[in-house]
Amino acid sequence: MKTVKARRPQPAIREGRAADQQRSANKAGSRGKPAAQPLQTPFAKTGATKKKPVSASEAARNRAKNLPDTGRSSTPATGTRKRGNSTVGMSRMIAQAIAKTTGAREVQGIKTPTEAVETTQTTIVHHGDKSGKNVKRAKRMKQRQGSQQELAFQQILREKRLASTEIEDDRLQKVLAYSGLGSRRDMEEVIEAERVTIGGRVATLGCKVSPGDEVRIDGKRVALKWPDRMVRIIMYHKQEGELVSRDDPEGRVTVFERLRRVYSSKWIAIGRLDFNTTGLLLFTTSGELANRMTHPSFQVEREYAVRVHGQLTPEQMKELTQGVKLDDGEAHFARIEDRGGEGSNHWYHVVIKEGRNREVRRMFEHFNIMVSRLTRIRFGMFSLPGRLKRGEFYELSETEVLAATKWAGLTMMGQVKD
């Protein structure tokens, strides 16, 4: 059936209806009621519109909500009072609606669009220390995704877990530290104070624990975490003025405050860098991988870019490779390369196979040459990416972690191969 669109009445019909309303208003005025003002036709130049009647219940709801007058009335317009500007009432309604929306957002904890933009731009983490410092989280380096086949293989590696029967027993203080309850040294003090029990018996230093054992500290049960999933590794470009420590009594910024928290385990720093040294700093969730890369017996190379005031002679460079005596013993570079420079500044690349405290700086100071800048550019098989800016981090993909654990002679879960 064809629908016919409703058409507006003709001008003559509209004028007739207006005349009928005028006559009815005059009759009401002759009975003692105030006479109504002449009704304006839709073609009047004043631009006034006819008020629409509303029900009593709607009027009560409007009064309860404390809404402004919207130009509606429950009776026909028979009064002589002048009508106000309709835009004033509309602006009041908009203002009240904005205020109610803001109040509802505050009650529900919803951020305004401005606050949401500010939150996405900068993430500030407030740590509850005495200094009340605000530490900005490190940003993730932008990278491209691999192919679909590579992403599918990474998903398989990510979801793989070890069964509890495949996890070997380990020392109690090591498991407690891995669970994020504190450093290994702190856990040893807690065990020596007889505050830890295993299955209802007081634990001793050096005892081992296995999955399924009930461990309690001060009577409260502890949820132990085990290395049952794939190792995680991140590369962080350390800045000057950051301390490689979990806690600093002086309130300085630490690298662990800059990193994102990992809930399944905890980050372990692979080696250290001085307070004023920049460059590549590695973190992992595998204690065995950290031990393989930092222990002197494994002889893992560390390469540094060094800027000094002055220049070494060929004899001094040869002596540095042969060995110089320091306060804590003899030290030497595996290699040293002259990279040139401008003015009083000169650059060298050095390779060392151990990580004693301020060792590179002290070796140059042995010849009264001060180091003005020190940057680690390589640690073992890991090189500092050129796109990794200071204060940013990059987490290795599952395929890259698999290659790293194979290079270190470990399983993908960070265990020593049989």
Single-letter amino acid code for the residue at 111 = K
CA–CA gap between residue 261 and residue 259 (Å, rounded): 6
- What pLDDT is stored for residue 121 in this prediction? 41
- What pLDDT is stored for residue 62 in this prediction? 62
The neighbouring-strand residues paired with 371 are 308
* Virtual torsion, Cα 77, 80, 81, 86, nearest 10 deg: 40
CA–CA gap between residue 280 and residue 181 (Å, rounded): 27
pLDDT block averages, 10 residues each, the chain of length 418: 57 74 70 50 45 59 54 45 52 65 52 46 40 77 84 88 82 85 86 92 90 91 86 94 87 89 82 93 92 91 95 93 91 94 90 92 94 96 94 94 93 82
CA–CA gap between residue 163 and residue 167 (Å, rounded): 7
Provide Rg for the chain, Cα atoms: 39
Residue 362 burial by Cβ neighbours in a 10 Å radius (0-12, 13-18, 19+)? middle
Q: Compute φ and ψ for 102, nearest 5 degrees.
A: -65, -40
Q: Is 338 a catalytic residue?
A: no
For 140: left if phi > 0, alpha if psi spans -120 to 50, otherwise beta; the answer is beta
Q: Which residues contact 210 (CB under 8 A, 6 or more apart)?
A: 167, 168, 169, 170
How many CB atoms within 10 Å of residue 269?
19
- What pLDDT is stored for residue 413 in this prediction? 86
| Helix segments in 179-322, DSSP class H | 184-192, 255-258, 287-294, 314-322
H or E element at residue 3? none
End-to-end CA separation in angstroms for the chain: 84
- What pLDDT is stored for residue 350 in this prediction? 96
Q: Which residues contact 169 (CB under 8 A, 6 or more apart)?
A: 208, 209, 210
CA–CA gap between residue 393 and residue 284 (Å, rounded): 13
State whether residue 222 is helix, strand or coil: coil
Q: Are 141 and 394 in contact (CB under 8 A)?
A: yes
Residue 269: both structure tokens together: 């720093």
Residue 49 burial by Cβ neighbours in a 10 Å radius (0-12, 13-18, 19+)? exposed
Catalytic annotation, pick one of 170, 186, 228, 274? 274
Q: Are 296 and 354 in contact (CB under 8 A)?
A: yes
Separation in Å, CA 333 to CA 5, 78, 133, 352: 93, 103, 39, 5
- What pLDDT is stored for residue 342 in this prediction? 83
Residue 64 burial by Cβ neighbours in a 10 Å radius (0-12, 13-18, 19+)? exposed
State whether residue 350 is helix, strand or coil: strand
- What pLDDT is stored for residue 373 in this prediction? 95
Which regions of 310-357 does DSSP assign to beta strands (E)? 324-326, 329-331, 335-338, 345-352
- What pLDDT is stored for residue 29 in this prediction? 59
CA–CA gap between residue 268 and residue 227 (Å, rounded): 13
CA–CA gap between residue 390 and residue 85 (Å, rounded): 61
